Chain A
Amino acid sequence: MSLSVILVKILEYMFVAGWVGSAVVLVLTGIEDVGTLLDREDEHSH
């Protein structure tokens, strides 16, 4: 396997692993965002 192929494979793993982790970020922050939107206690609208 050539060096370029190895490097491309590393990039692919980074991208896939990154997306899996980012999906978790999206879910967790999404849940938190719902809470933030529902909490209107100290909302300041001008």
Chain B
Amino acid sequence: MSSTSNAPTGNNRVRIVVATSVMLTFISYWRAAAVILNDLGSSAFYAGGIAEQAIGKSAPWFVLGVMLFAFAVRAVYVESCSMFVRGGVYRVVKEALGGTLAKLSVSALMFDYILTGPVSGVSAGQYIAGLINDTISIADVHGLIPSAVHHLFHGTPQVGTNATAVVFAIAVTLYFWWENIKGIEESSEKALWVMQITTVMVVMLLGWSFFTLLKVGGHLPPFPTLANIHYSDTSLGFWKHSKLPHMFGILGLIIGFGHSVLAMSGEESLAQVYRELAHPKLKNLKRTAIVIGVYSFVFTGLVSLLAVMLIPDDVRTKVYSDNLIAGLAMHMVGPQVLRLAFRVFVVVVGFLILSGAVNTAIVGSNGVLNRVSEDGVLADWFRRPHKKYGTTYRIINLIVGLQLFTIIVSWGNIYTLGEAYAFGVVWSFVFKTVSMLVLRYRYKGERNWKVPPNFHIFGIEIPIGLASVGMVLLSTAIVNLFTKSVATVSGLIFSVIFFAIFTFSERVNRRKHAHTAAQMKEQFQLQQAESVERETVGIRPGNVLVPVRDYNTLNHLKWVLERTDTHEQDVVVMTARISQFGAAAYGLSTEQMFSDYEQTLFTRAVSVAESFGKKISLLVVPARDSWSAIAQTAHNLDSSGVVTGLSSKMTTAEQAFALGSAWEAIPEPKRQFVLQIVQTDGIVDTFRIGPHTPTMKNEDVVLLHRLWLNVTREPGLENIHHHDILTEALTRFAHDYGARDRDDIVKELRRHNVAGGALPVRRIADQIPTVQPKPVRPSRDAGSRDDGASSPKSGSSE
């Protein structure tokens, strides 16, 4: 393969290798399930209450039905992921039904994603407000509220539930807005931790509820018949004055099902995490689907059922309809203080999982919009990275702006929000399933699994299972259009606006990209490669990797070029195209990867290289996070060094730690390399990435030498070397750290870390007694046989 450099190729164009597969670290199915359940499981906190407000006391049967049906919907996602690694709604609908319907389906999905934030934030606020009010009421009953306060509030002081929920939801949304602008890392570990705590709560909740049932008894909710479905004033929407809902029993079931369908929101996350699942991917996807299916059935389904069985009707509908689990906690058998303590735990868990869902909504929406913008459906203007943090801040601003607008307009009414939310949930599923049906006949590529059962008549496949799931979803979605007027109106307005933005952006982009492509054709030659390999890039081992992001800060590239003879050592300039959660992972086209921003960036890099008269190789890699991309690329390219600029949000030590952590995640065997961080004032900090001989401070060496001198005076230890002292010291440290003194060691290290790296060794060295006049004996180790540490005293005292 010819050299990749800014040296003109045969046709005077600079060759750029564009890798098209995202560099990912893979996760187990347990972690994947935890990530999905952070979204899916959060609906347990509000779905049952919303459904009961709409259709009455038989709602838990519908919620259970939805959770059961969710297993079948999950099967559709498993089939789509077996066809496309990124088997989300947009990709599948685009393959099956074309760009227009894909834009429409993604508009519905965006409605779902954007509403996840306000619904979750408001729900968490409702739980907190409910706890505050009930605590004050209990305190009042026990005479703990002074009468002056009583007079001031004309009774027991209470906070406004909806207003508190709105304030809380806005605060949480703004918090995660800022975190996303800064570019927080999505951590499956954090998700796993939240789900572990949630599981503790679920087990306690179910155990205590069943114990209460045994003690005081309870009645199952009325079965879902037309006579038992009690529509509220708003649950029939446009059919409020129609006789139809009261004429047909099965229509009543569809209406009830439609009002409960939001309980399975979050399924789309299954497709989002698939690309990150460890091998064997499909089997692990199925395992993930089973885990989330069983968990959400038990959590969301059973909690809704138990709430109706244990909380008296008048209290449940009037006080706890918006915080059902809190009501359940307060209606267990046992002392009030214990129930209140458990309710606090419920609120804490609710806060964690619902706040997590607010973040998931922003991250997911950002991912989906990034994904469509990669296809040129959203103007490049939206994708321009933040100057300081490199995030797609304009997309994040748009999403959060819409979420804040929704929170304020709804004014904390969880019922209205939930009703609207269902529109996006059900229609994105409909688009997805119908597309999968179409793909059964149109898609000729690999497909490792199919939703059963399937029959063949005259050689034509009849996908009974897939069609059945589609029929349930389509009939529910159509009925919802009539019964959920708020959802229909707001959902349609939102979808039409987003569809218009997508269509307009696509046209603008098409024109712009044609111009950019023409420019690019003159200047660059893009070479697509599935993954980053040294041979593909055409460079030698031991090269220097220079990551770049902002074309205004290329000082570190200049620093490298000043010091590197590119005839002897190759310089590779790389930029990581951060592919957000939900964005495509494989098979990205070069146009998707190499936008006008990358073109400007590389044009500047090439002109810097030309000003030095030196060659550079250019590389674009897609990645989930920049540190993994740098570590993986340095590993794949056999680089001996990485030179980067100073991050605007991290210190040099933090940058080195982040890169070191990414390096640790790479499987063995792997090469160590040197990281050099060039600061704006020209100071360069150097770090070794991977295991290496540490740089020993003078004081350390003095201490080592003194210890060695003392030890060698012990009978029989005359032949001891310096490295033997180190080996013994490290062995003892490892032993102590792994056993009784671990806490003390950690505390001590932390203290020195906080104190700005004060050197304990300096003090200890002073405590080592001065070496006594040595007995007369021949010198065996005068430092010359030292283990590499040069001591100022070496040899002098022997």
Write the residues of chain A forming the contact surface with B, with a CB cutoff of 8 angstroms. 4-5, 8-9, 11-12, 14-22, 24-26, 28-30, 32-33, 36-37, 39, 42-46
Q: Do the beta carbons of A26 and B68 come within 8 Å of each other? A: yes
Q: Do the beta carbons of A14 and B475 come within 8 Å of each other? A: yes
Give the shortest distance, in Å, between A39 (CB) and chain B (any CB).
8
Whether, in the assembled complex, B469 has its beta carbon less than 8 Å from a beta carbon of chain A, the answer is yes
Q: Do the beta carbons of A20 and B468 come within 8 Å of each other? A: yes
Stretch at the interface among B245-253, B440-448, B679-687, B732-740: B245-253
Write the residues of chain B forming the contact surface with A, with a CB cutoff of 8 angstroms. 27-28, 30-31, 68-69, 71-72, 75, 244, 247-248, 250-251, 253-254, 257, 278-280, 283-284, 286-287, 289-290, 451-453, 464-465, 467-476, 478-479
Q: Do the beta carbons of A16 and B250 come within 8 Å of each other? A: yes
Give the shortest distance, in Å, between B595 (CB) and chain A (any CB).
34
| CB-defined A-B contacts under 8 Å, sample of 27 | A5-B244, A9-B248, A11-B254, A12-B248, A12-B250, A12-B254, A12-B475, A14-B474, A14-B475, A15-B250, A15-B475, A15-B476, A18-B470, A19-B472, A22-B69, A22-B469, A24-B452, A25-B453, A25-B465, A25-B468, A26-B68, A28-B452, A29-B71, A36-B283, A39-B283, A42-B280, A43-B287
Give the shortest distance, in Å, between B9 (CB) and chain A (any CB).
43
Q: Which residues of B contact A43 (CB under 8 A)?
A: 287
In the bound complex, what is the Cα–Cα distance between A22 and B465 (angstroms)?
6
In the bound complex, what is the Cα–Cα distance between A26 and B467 (angstroms)?
14
Q: Do the beta carbons of A11 and B475 come within 8 Å of each other? A: yes
Q: Do the beta carbons of A21 and B464 come within 8 Å of each other? A: yes
Give the shortest distance, in Å, between A10 (CB) and chain B (any CB).
8
Q: Which residues of B contact A25 (CB under 8 A)?
A: 71-72, 75, 451-453, 465, 468-469
Main SS at interface, chain A: helix
In the bound complex, what is the Cα–Cα distance between A16 and B254 (angstroms)?
9
Known: A29-B72, A30-B71, A36-B287. 20 other contacts (CB 8 A): A5-B247, A8-B247, A14-B472, A18-B475, A19-B472, A21-B467, A21-B471, A22-B69, A22-B469, A26-B72, A28-B452, A29-B71, A29-B451, A33-B286, A37-B287, A42-B279, A44-B280, A45-B28, A45-B30, A46-B278
Q: Which residues of A contact B244 (CB under 8 A)?
A: 4-5, 8
Q: Do the beta carbons of A15 and B253 come within 8 Å of each other? A: yes
Q: Which residues of A contact B72 (CB under 8 A)?
A: 22, 25-26, 29
In the bound complex, what is the Cα–Cα distance between A1 and B382 (angstroms)?
53
In the bound complex, what is the Cα–Cα distance between A29 and B294 (angstroms)?
13
In the bound complex, what is the Cα–Cα distance between A28 and B72 (angstroms)?
10
Cβ 8 A contact of B468, one of A9, A21, A39? A21
Give the nearest-CB partner of A37 in chain B: B290
Q: Which residues of B contact A33 (CB under 8 A)?
A: 286, 289-290
In the bound complex, what is the Cα–Cα distance between A24 and B469 (angstroms)?
10
Q: Which residues of A contact B286 (CB under 8 A)?
A: 32-33, 36
Q: Do the beta carbons of A15 and B68 come within 8 Å of each other? A: no
Main SS at interface, chain B: helix
Q: Do the beta carbons of A15 and B472 come within 8 Å of each other? A: yes
In the bound complex, what is the Cα–Cα distance between A2 and B701 (angstroms)?
96
Q: Which residues of B contact A20 (CB under 8 A)?
A: 468
Q: Which residues of B contact A44 (CB under 8 A)?
A: 28, 278-280, 284
Give the nearest-CB partner of A28 in chain B: B452
Say whether, besides A28-B453, A36-B283, A42-B280, A14 and B471 are in contact (CB < 8 Å). yes
Cβ 8 A contact of B251, one of A8, A18, A24? A8
Give the nearest-CB partner of B476 in chain A: A15
In the bound complex, what is the Cα–Cα distance between A9 and B251 (angstroms)?
8
Say whether, besides A25-B72, A44-B278, A15 and B471 are in contact (CB < 8 Å). yes
Give the nearest-CB partner of B280 in chain A: A42
Q: Which residues of A contact B253 (CB under 8 A)?
A: 15
Give the nearest-CB partner of B253 in chain A: A15
> Which has the most chain B C-beta neighbours within 10 Å: A16, A29, A39?
A29
Q: Which residues of B contact A29 (CB under 8 A)?
A: 71-72, 75, 451-452
Q: Which residues of A contact B69 (CB under 8 A)?
A: 19, 22
Give the shortest distance, in Å, between B336 (CB) and chain A (any CB).
42
In the bound complex, what is the Cα–Cα distance between A20 and B472 (angstroms)?
10
Q: Do the beta carbons of B465 and A42 come within 8 Å of each other? A: no
In the bound complex, what is the Cα–Cα distance between A46 and B472 (angstroms)?
38
Q: Which residues of A contact B247 (CB under 8 A)?
A: 5, 8
Q: Which residues of A contact B471 (CB under 8 A)?
A: 14-15, 17-18, 21
